[in-house]
Homo-oligomer: A and B are copies of this chain.
Amino acid sequence: MDSIDLRLIELLRENARSSYAELARKVGLSAPAVHERVGKLEAAGTIQGYRAEVDHEALGLGVTALIGIIEDSGADTDDVLAALRAMPEVESCYFMAGVESYQLTVRVGTIAELEQLIVRINRTPGVASTRTAIALSTKWENRPQPHLG
């Protein structure tokens, strides 16, 4: 993990579809060298995958909300997590410090669907209560953080 690796990661965070040849030109190595470095970063888990960023609104998922979850005192955390994972609307899930054990980012098409989702989460065994905040607009998301080193 040297500065060239960091540069490659930065380039791939900006455009994951860059060709190896293009990456090679930008970091000043040959294409096979870049290929091997990227392969090792993937194998090490430093690069976990490559995702297309989409306009959720254009795909009918225009409603974004953040949901905090307070667990029952006797809740089985694994069961709650499994139930949440089974809901495709739940895009991200963090286990938090504080009263609310989980913080979710969810995406649905309509407010009615959001209501149904909240009801479903509240009905999940182990969930004591939820707190939902609706995003009126997304200023930016998943902005790649430039490397300082």
Contacts and interface: CB of A to CB of B under 8 A. Distances in A.
Contacts of A147: 59
Interface string A136-149: 11111111111100
Given A15-B50, A53-B48, A143-B92, A133 B98 contact: yes
A47 interface: yes
Given A13-B51, A48-B55, A59-B147, A95 B136 contact: yes
Contacts of A120: none
Given A94-B135, A97-B134, A145-B107, A54 B47 contact: yes
Given A96-B136, A133-B98, A50 B16 contact: yes
Specify how many copies of this chain sit in the oligomer. 2
A66 B145 contact: no
B45 A55 contact: yes
A40 to B, nearest CB: 12
A49 interface: yes
B47 A53 contact: yes
A85 B140 CA distance: 9
**Contact residues on A (Cβ < 8 Å of other chain), bracket:** 35 or more
Contact of A9 (B59, B97, B135): B59
Q: Which of A46, A91, A103, A139 has the most CB of B within 10 A?
A: A139
Given A81-B139, A93-B140, A9 B133 contact: no
